Amino acid sequence: MTKAFDLVITGGDVVDPGSGLSGKLDIGVKEGKIAAVEAGIDASTAARVIDASGRYVTPGLIDLHTHVYWGSTFWGIEPDPVAARSGCTTWLDVGSSGGYSFPGLRRHIVETSKAKVFVLLNLSSIGLIGPSWELANPDYWDIELAQTIVEANRDVIIGIKARIDSSTTRGVGVAPLAKARELADRVGLPLMTHIGGGPPTIEEVIPHLRPGDILTHCFTGNSMRIIDDNRKILPEIKALKEAGLIFDIGHGTGSFSYDTAEAMLEQGYLPDVISTDIHQMAIQGPAFDMPTTMSKFLNLGLTLEQVIERSTAAPAAAMRRTDVGSLAVGQAADIALFTIEEGEYTFQDVRMNERKGSKLLRNTLTIIDGEELERVELPDLQPWAVLPAHQRGKVIPLTEVPAKPAAPLLDNR
Ligand SMILES: [Zn+2]
């Protein structure tokens, strides 16, 4: 006899603030979609049952800031092995590819990964094949080409990316940001702007930001940070935020400062989206992955509901997608199970400032389209995957890190 459900997840504590679902609810899955969310689903109606007692059950996480163009860029990691141990089922690759390299990202990563990969196209035609300077050469600000690529790939490309700091622009100031703005407006998609260490200044960047855009590395401690010397939010950023500019963490190896985060939280500004900026280096810590980055905010005082919403419904909204980040009936069955472990943990920001915390979110199972992902060993890192000197050997392990690079190079950056 055909069962009503292919899979039922029973006994868990559902946390999906974006859909208004919470508490002891069972989830029925049929043909890769969520078919029921209700208390007391009869397990005998399911072909397979997962006992989620003692677990939080959430929508598969969405990481709004990742680099997954493995094998063709400086930064890229493979998404699936990390998805299987982090609960992250939707990955937004932000700017790894530009016009010349997007077709490879699409064919070799987007179309072959179990994880759902969406893309922000880099204004720079060469994308992030190297670590830096992708916008230093105006020959690569080819908005005609970028527009053509976007128009042919709107199912995957959901926005535009520009990294604006001293290591990407080298002497051209915010001119490429103006081009990225023009491109985003032409194609009618949001622009994600990365800020860091200037020049240029944050004041030069601000006129190019719009409501609905994403400001990533919003809690950077570097010179383009969004608070002033008295740790007060810049008034222009405050106005933009109130109009709908989206604050995204993008932790990475250089972009999350406890001082900036705490100053913003003290003034009542929470991040809109929690994301990792996971890449060949950041995966080694102190960012590690989504659960670790989310744990930092749990320990800064956000509730579990606030943290989950900022890692599911909020990034889905930022991506303008309604098909990910929700456990509502009819959605794809992208589901994650977590525990919160209690203990004494030391968390670090990118300058290795430490904060103690008592809660650590751990993923125990990840499901995409109704199928459980198998946990596999994390792959080796690339030979150049070396942490900045001030972090090397000082990261406190909170989760398993991939194998070290086989032949690490000396870091000269
Ligand atoms: Zn990044």
Q: How many domains does the chain have?
A: 1
In a domain, residue 79? The reply is yes
- What is the rounded distance in angstroms from the CA atom of residue 122 to the CA atom of residue 138? 13
> In angstroms, what is the span from residue 75 Cα to ligand 1's centroid?
8
> Distance from CA of residue 156 to its chain's centroid?
16
pLDDT, position 408: 64
Chain position carrying tokens 């990225």: 180
- What is the rounded distance in angstroms from the CA atom of residue 282 to the CA atom of residue 276? 8
pLDDT, position 398: 92
How is residue 110 annotated by DSSP?
A: I
Q: Max alpha carbon distance in the chain (Å)?
A: 69
> In angstroms, what is the span from residue 212 Cα to ligand 1's centroid?
19
In a domain, residue 326? The reply is no
In a domain, residue 27? The reply is no
pLDDT, position 2: 80
pLDDT, position 406: 63
In a domain, residue 143? The reply is yes
CA nearest 214: which of 139, 136, 277? 277
Walk along the chain (413 residues) in steps of 10 and give the mean pLDDT of each run. Answer: 91 98 98 97 95 98 98 98 98 98 98 98 98 96 98 98 94 96 98 97 98 98 97 98 98 97 98 98 96 98 98 98 98 98 98 98 98 94 93 91 70 49
- What is the rounded distance in angstroms from the CA atom of residue 344 to the CA atom of residue 349? 17
In a domain, residue 340? The reply is no
> Distance from CA of residue 69 to its chain's centroid?
14
> In angstroms, what is the span from residue 66 Cα to ligand 1's centroid?
6
Q: What is the dihedral of CA 302, 307, 313, 315, to 10 degrees?
A: 100
CA nearest 248: which of 284, 207, 220, 210? 220
pLDDT in tens, 274-312: 999 999 999 999 999 999 999 999 999 999 999 999 999
Q: For residues 331 and 33, is the Cβ–Cβ distance under 8 A?
A: yes
Exposure b/e, 220-231, CB count within 10 A at least 16 = b: bbbebbbbeeee
Bond from prior residue into 131 cis (ω within 30 degrees of 0): no
Strand duo 88-94 + 61-66: pairing: parallel
In a domain, residue 233? The reply is yes
pLDDT, position 395: 94
What CATH number does residue 276 fall under? Answer: 3.20.20.140
> In angstroms, what is the span from residue 156 Cα to ligand 1's centroid?
18
In a domain, residue 229? The reply is yes
> In angstroms, what is the span from residue 249 Cα to ligand 1's centroid?
10
pLDDT, position 413: 46
pLDDT, position 175: 97
> In angstroms, what is the span from residue 412 Cα to ligand 1's centroid?
20
In a domain, residue 354? The reply is no
> In angstroms, what is the span from residue 271 Cα to ligand 1's centroid?
17
For residue 324 the two structure tokens come to: 């990910």
> In angstroms, what is the span from residue 27 Cα to ligand 1's centroid?
34
> In angstroms, what is the span from residue 52 Cα to ligand 1's centroid?
34
Instruction: Write the single-letter amino acid at 398.
Output: L
Bond from prior residue into 315 cis (ω within 30 degrees of 0): no
Chain position carrying tokens 């490879």: 104
pLDDT, position 402: 81
**Structural domain span for residue 218:** 61-318
Ramachandran region of residue 330, left (φ > 0), alpha (ψ -120 to 50) or beta?
left
pLDDT, position 409: 64
